[in-house]
Amino acid sequence: MPRMDGFQLYDAIRQKDQKTKICFLTASEMFYESLRKARNTYGSALGEEYFIQKPAKEDHLVKKLNDLIAKS
């Protein structure tokens, strides 16, 4: 994203709505290191179940999102 990273987007969404469910779709293993660091700031709200790694087949992506929605 050219103007902000995913964590900045997360902050912007949270400022508008605390209840919105947010998933991260990432192609980078290195992003998980950012996740570990971000947990110091965001705590358990950034559980690994909310991270989906690319490439993700459409049926897997839909199932994962449906599972997360059902849990909320």
- pLDDT tens-digit series, residues 52-68: 777 888 998 898 889 88
- Cα separation of 46 and 66, whole Å? 18
13 inside domain: yes
28 inside domain: yes
Q: Which of 51, 3, 59, 60 is nearest to 27 (CA)?
A: 51
Number of domains in the chain: 1
11 inside domain: yes
pLDDT tens digits, 34-46: 666 666 666 555 5
Q: Is the pTM of this model over 0.85?
A: no
1 inside domain: no
- Cα separation of 7 and 38, whole Å? 8
Higher pLDDT, 44 or 50: 50
Boundaries of domain holding 16: 6-71
3-state secondary structure of 52: strand
50 inside domain: yes
- Reported as a pLDDT band with limits 50, 70 and 90, residue 30 is low
pLDDT value of position 32? 61
30 inside domain: yes
34 inside domain: yes
- Reported as a pLDDT band with limits 50, 70 and 90, residue 29 is low
DSSP state of 48: G
